[in-house]
Amino acid sequence: MMVKKALPFCGQQLPDPILIKIADYIIEYKADNSVAREMARYCLMDSLGCAILALSYPSCNKLLGPIVPGATLKAGARVPGTDYQLEPVQAAFNIGAMIRWLDFNDTWLAAEWGHPSDNLGAILAIADYLSRQNLQQGYPALQIGDVITALIKAYEIQGIIALENSFNSVGLDHVLLVRVASTAVVTAMLGGGREHIISALSNAWIDGAALRSYRHYPNTGSRKSWAAGDATSRGVRLALLAIKGEMGYPSVLTAKTWGFYDVLFKGECFELKQEFSSYVVENILFKISFPAEFHGQTAIEAAIQLHPQVLSRLEEIDKVVIQTQRSGKKIIDKVGVLNHPAERDHCLQYMVAVALLVGSINADHYQYPMASDPRITALRKKMVVLENKKFSLDYVDPNKRSIANALQVFFNDGSHTIEIVVEYPLGHKRRREEAIPFLKQKFVDNLATRIAEKNCTEIHQLFADQGALENIRVDKFMDLFVI
């Protein structure tokens, strides 16, 4: 696709440095690191598997399809696991919501938390749409290699900004960074140049940020499962506007009184202590075993280890002590009634209770009838959640980035289990070699819930071969996921 003509900004001042930095990274960085591209392959694989599994749940399905009945688009973007073919903004919402629905996709933990794979809603929708449109007009289709490159850059933008800058501490939700990253990469995919990217980015920041209300008591709700779809689709819309020549706002962050920093960030400027490269995708955290908020993953592993010792002594339990990191206590330490799955998969006590009772946890355990098991309520009432200062320090230590939890069960007779400490969950980089076979099996299992066996075989063969995967046309690849 031809690069679009440059467009002017509002006024004559130079754009804010971070807008320039992101745009230059998008245009100039080659993303040719073989380790990064291999990890991006696993990220794409895992995200699509999570999306397919989400289709097993009616609560996800009801939000999918065109925004109004019948608003489909011939030669539009495919929505995996369905027969929908949509314009790219709504396709991005569909794909993004599916990937995020079960809280099973990859994760990034730093000063801000988030899920960089959320950006694949925009990336896959635009890549598929452009491929089909290009073919109709006699131009080459995009290849999955182009998706891999965009993935690496979107992960990096979201993750590096998140390293030192805490949006949650001022009540803002991390999906802001999904919108920003999606806007940047999609504008470039559409043929936009440096000025287009900066203009689109400025509008992404002007949108402000969603509140975190829907992630916390008393308003925890299912919006947390589609908020990323909303953010990544917004990125597509803003990119399309920029390509049409819509103006940008160069001091959107730094403008006195009305800029992002003054209005929403307590007057503080963002810190970017690390250059954009491929650090984030190389260090991404996978959710291998449990569809659950990531700060509780190691607590679940510990609970599963204690399951055999506890199951026959449930009535004798005096208390269950959970030590966690500051972020875990802030996000998922929840007491009281949990009214729906969106609350349960973000409740540390609920997740630990299920793991102690069952010896595992999956998405069905957040639904009824498990959710009404009185033993879960009884166990939750006996739980004490404490911040472990060392865990909090190791969580932010760049040489560790642990997500530790400790678990110990005490009985009425004064006896107790040993304390189980798990510092790094299975999906952590320090356990990557151990995790990859399980990650592949997760994809096999998830894909089989929806996709025809013949297509599954072809998809698995592609993901087993980096070169073959990167060289397949995006439209042909997406057609493999159609039912």
* Domain contains 432: no
Q: Is the domain of 100 the same as that of 211? A: yes
Cα angle, residue 301 at apex, residues 296 and 305 outer, rounded to 5°: 140
* Domain contains 72: yes
| pLDDT tens by residue, 273-310 | 899 999 999 999 999 988 989 999 999 999 999 999 99
Q: Is the domain of 242 the same as that of 145? A: yes
Q: Which domain holds residue 327?
A: 294-425
Q: Is the domain of 21 the same as that of 117? A: yes
pTM of the entire predicted model: 0.92
Q: Is the domain of 242 the same as that of 327? A: no
Query: Cα(36)–Cα(277) distance, rounded to whole angstroms?
Result: 10
Q: Is the domain of 122 the same as that of 249? A: yes
The CATH number linked to 35 is 1.10.4100.10
Residue type, 208: G
| pLDDT tens by residue, 339-385 | 999 999 999 999 999 999 999 999 999 999 999 999 999 999 999 99
Count of domains in the chain?
2
**425, 450, 470 - which closes a domain:** 425
Q: Is the domain of 109 the same as that of 192? A: yes
Q: Is the domain of 201 the same as that of 298? A: no
User: What per-residue confidence (pLDDT) applies to 386?
Assistant: 98
* Domain contains 436: no
pLDDT band with cut points at 50, 70 and 90 for residue 13: confident
Q: Is the domain of 385 the same as that of 274? A: no
Q: Is the domain of 244 the same as that of 329? A: no
* Domain contains 35: yes
Q: What percent of the chain has pLDDT over 90?
A: 94
* Domain contains 96: yes
Dihedral, CA of residue 362, residue 363, residue 364 and residue 368, to nearest 10 = 120
What would the mean pLDDT of 93-118 be, rounded to a whole number?
A: 96
The CATH number linked to 349 is 3.30.1330.120
The answer, yes or no, to whether residue 149 has pLDDT greater than 60, is: yes
* Domain contains 12: no
User: What per-residue confidence (pLDDT) applies to 8?
Assistant: 52
**239, 255, 282 - which closes a domain:** 282
* Domain contains 325: yes
Rounded to the nearest integer, the mean pLDDT of the chain is 95
Q: Is the domain of 366 the same as that of 258? A: no
Q: Is the domain of 246 the same as that of 321? A: no
Q: Is the domain of 139 the same as that of 62? A: yes
